[in-house]
A = this chain, B = another copy of it.
Amino acid sequence: MLSEIDKSDPIALHEQVASQIRRAIADGEAGPGERLPLARDLAAVLGVNRNTVLRALHMLRDEGLLEFRRGQGIKVTGTRQKSDLLAQVHELVATARRNGYRKSELIEMIEAVKG
């Protein structure tokens, strides 16, 4: 379930929107092959501008989660698992930033994990 965006949050609005949609897919609210609501409607529900929503959706397309087709709308292509993973990745990077760690340090930590 999508909830309204917090405009006082220092995190950019389109990032918040992207996070919510990632989570929604991860939670199974929209499965692979399904069509997403219109950007206009998403914008209305989330209380932000349609351009902000589009910016977020384009990010998710770059992550391999969505597919755009003119006149056809936006289709989910990624799996719940992938969406879940991407959500965790973004949360991790956000935590790192908050605490002054760089992505490179994060990557070192991951590489140090055995297996």
Residue positions of A touching B, CB distance < 8 A = 59, 62-63, 81-82, 84-86, 88-93, 95-97, 99-101, 103, 106-107, 109-115
Contact = CB atoms under 8 A, between A and B. Distances in A.
A102 to B, nearest CB: 10
Contact of A110 (B62, B84, B89, B99): B89
B89 A91 contact: no
Nearest to A88: B92
Contact of A95 (B85, B103, B111): B85
A89 B93 CA distance: 10
A99 B99 CA distance: 28
A103 B112 CA distance: 10
